Structure 1
Amino acid sequence: MNKPYIDHIDSTYVLAVLEDLLAIPSPSGFCEEVLLRVEREAAKLGWQTERTPKQACIITIPGQAGTGTLALTAHVDTLGAMVRSIKGSGALRFTPVGGYAMNSIEGEYCTVHTRNGQTYTGTILTTSPSVHVYKNARELKREEENLEIRLDAPASSKDEAAALGIRNGDYISFDPRTRVLENGYIKSRHLDDKAGVACLFGLAELIARTGAKPHKTLKLMITSYEEVGHGAAYMPADVAELIAVDMGAIGDDLACTEQDVSICAKDSSGPYDCAMTTRLIRLAERDKLRFAVDIYPQYGSDASAAMRGGNNLRAALIGPGVHASHSLERTHRDALMNTISLLAAYVLEAEDKPVKEPNA
């Protein structure tokens, strides 16, 4: 396969996988349906999968003999909520799953998933939802105790809501509102990190279609607890090198844009491996990819969890640039393609060979 690899990626496939994943509710820990979708897609490409006890899916792509194992992680779990209690009015008080600003979900449509398999839609509102009624509607602080869920069901009392089968601890998912625009922009909730999962499938499809052989055996690890901090705290014992594929943040003094692959040099867990990060930068430069190198002081990844979990490995972090993370997110098709191309260069080329210009 000739370089740059970006010319060989099936973007139609990548976007189709992304849209499918975004349509499946999967707050942290509530990921069975989306993991089954991941397993089916891996099987279509001819790759074997296994589940860890912690409900991560590992897709194994054999590499050249005797060259070790490289893990690539992305997380399929998203932000969401749980029912904390049923109010006397029949509205639901909720507790967050994952970290987000409460104002970012006000007015959002959502779905309550009961333990007996029922689902009920609703809307997240403040407890003073109308300016025509409540004097404090504009000034009310957007925090957990001042928000509730209005059910789209006949539930005007606690007993009526409970009679629907709703109980404390039921999961709540937020509607993704996905739009894929003709100019390449993709806006949706949960691009963090279903865009990263789609990138891993773009890489897996590229390898399957072209017959390319990774330099090292690849373990694509799709985790389901990253948003609560411990998705990849466990890693298989044979993994000594890890690249987390997660969204690149945008704003303030950061260089990343929605068209870039982000290469994170340091986040809240500290600096990432110097040699790995340098190699990623050199490959992106060589292949003339749109990329940015940034520092994310308020960010953590599955690589952070793996290192804190005591795994003896080195790690790096890359991913497509996503604007308004943990809110109304947006990225661009180019960011996905640049991310997949950089991953392909890293996994298909031997590390001990110097990075050279394509025609050098």
Structure 2
Amino acid sequence: MKQYQEYILEHLKELLAIDSPSGFTGRAADYLMRLYQDMGYEPVLTRKGGVIVDLGGEECDNAFLMASHIDTLGAVIAEIKENGRLRISPVGGYGASAIETENCRVYTRGGKVYEGTCQLVNASLHVNTSYKETLRDFQNIEIVLDEDVHAKEDVKALGIENGDFICFDTATRVTESGYIKSRFLDDKLSAAVLIGYAKYLKDTGKMPKRKIYQYFTVFEEIGHGASASIPEGVTDVLSVDMGCVGDGIACTEKEVSICAKDSGGPYNYDFTTELIQTAKEAGIAYAVDVYPSYGSDVEAALKSGFDVRHGLIGPGVYASHGYERGHVDGMMNAFGLLVAYLDK
């Protein structure tokens, strides 16, 4: 499966280069629609803006669906201040300190894009005597536009309005040692793994024993990603999302994490056991973990009333919702687990 590593990395970088916070995911969805059409599939765009792909397989009443989300964290303009700075409202579970000093782009509804930087209010340490003590929250950070603006009227003259989206730089890097560093590996790293699996099926010409769907959701970061549009006949839904790395967690960036329980409760016992057994049999580096603060697409599906078995796996990612870090080994172990489980 090593031949798919560069393919997955290539499409990861392309996905990461497309700004797509929840509610502003159209360009990322368009990218997936074109990519899957080029591979010979017939992707479908849902009304919510997600992408569903039928990968083939025997017609049956126990279809399998794997879901990843292409929406990310971001922000919108909440207020244009009198001095021309922008107060923001976060989209998703951002911490204000995670984006302080980060470069960003402001997308207007008229189609223009402006650059800026997220800064602490009164950000010059040599001027602000309370700089170190200031609480980093969304009242105390602001967007400084890289335009000649000094008043609210100057900003509005650019076509910028409240509600315009703000997207933050990813600063993507892949090191010689195989580490992948970027914002928004949650969940574009897993989305790229799904793309790799679709390519694997096309390359090998395999006919899966059961119908397989892929679902790229676009509202996971705000809680209702896979709450709709799951095709009829699906009995198993696997969320392929970020695997947690941190204190009290067994997984590292080089492994695929199999989640037994998160803050929403335990995942399906039999499904999870099957995933663990498959990893053991295939010699895949894995860890089983309990995530203390986490929610997933498949939990949204259950809450919406879908009668399915639910599971969660993902490549290990450190520093979630910040400047995140994964590894190509964890990426490929997640890919390998999908192949091994669905080839059975």
**Shorter-normalised TM-score: what interval?**
over 0.9
Q: Distance in 2 between matches of 1:175 and 1:56?
A: 23
Which of 53, 71, 77 is residue 47 of structure 2 equivalent to? 53
Partner of 1:356: none
Partner of 1:72: 66
Secondary structure at 1:134 match in 2: coil
Q: Is 1:42 matched with 2:58?
A: no
Which of 274, 277, 281 is residue 282 of structure 1 equivalent to? 277
Partner of 2:321: 326
The 8 Å contact of residues 189 and 329 in structure 1, kept in 2 or not, is answered as: yes
Identity of aligned residues (%): 45
Partner of 1:145: 139
Pairwise CA RMSD: 1.0
Deviation of residue 9 (structure 1)?
4.8
Q: Is 1:106 matched with 2:100?
A: yes
Q: Distance in 1 between matches of 2:289 and 2:206?
A: 31
Secondary structure at 2:93 match in 1: coil
Q: Is 1:340 matched with 2:335?
A: yes
The 8 Å contact of residues 61 and 233 in structure 2, kept in 1 or not, is answered as: no
Q: Is 1:240 matched with 2:223?
A: no
Partner of 1:190: 184
1:66-106 per-position Cα deviation (integer Å, ceiling 9, x unaligned): 35311100000000000001001100000000002111110
The 8 Å contact of residues 80 and 172 in structure 1, kept in 2 or not, is answered as: yes
Partner of 1:19: 13
Q: Is 1:160 matched with 2:150?
A: no
Which of 296, 299, 305 is residue 304 of structure 1 equivalent to? 299
Q: Distance in 2 between matches of 1:94 and 1:66?
A: 48
Partner of 1:254: 249
Secondary structure at 2:28 match in 1: helix
Secondary structure at 1:10 match in 2: helix
Q: Distance in 1 between matches of 2:54 and 2:197?
A: 13
Q: Distance in 2 between matches of 1:241 and 1:138?
A: 50
The one-letter amino acid of 1:339's match is: A
Deviation of residue 154 (structure 1)?
1.2
The 8 Å contact of residues 245 and 317 in structure 1, kept in 2 or not, is answered as: yes
Deviation of residue 221 (structure 1)?
0.3
The 8 Å contact of residues 128 and 136 in structure 1, kept in 2 or not, is answered as: no
Q: Distance in 1 between matches of 2:142 and 2:178?
A: 35
Q: Distance in 2 between matches of 1:86 and 1:233?
A: 34
Q: Distance in 2 between matches of 1:248 and 1:66?
A: 30
Secondary structure at 2:245 match in 1: coil
Partner of 1:291: 286
1:8-61 per-position Cα deviation (integer Å, ceiling 9, x unaligned): 651111000000000000000101111111111111221111111111100111
1:152-207 per-position Cα deviation (integer Å, ceiling 9, x unaligned): 01111000001000000000101001001221111000000000100101111111
Q: Distance in 1 between matches of 2:59 and 2:218?
A: 30
The one-letter amino acid of 1:141's match is: L
Secondary structure at 2:76 match in 1: strand
Which of 291, 307, 310 is residue 315 of structure 1 equivalent to? 310
In the comparison of the two structures, how many residue pairs are matched?
Answer: 343
The 8 Å contact of residues 122 and 150 in structure 1, kept in 2 or not, is answered as: yes
Partner of 1:357: none
Q: Distance in 1 between matches of 2:208 and 2:68?
A: 18
Which of 113, 116, 125 is residue 110 of structure 2 equivalent to? 116
Q: Distance in 2 between matches of 1:294 and 1:178?
A: 27
Q: Is 1:93 matched with 2:81?
A: no
The 8 Å contact of residues 235 and 309 in structure 2, kept in 1 or not, is answered as: yes
TM-score normalised by L of structure 2: 0.98
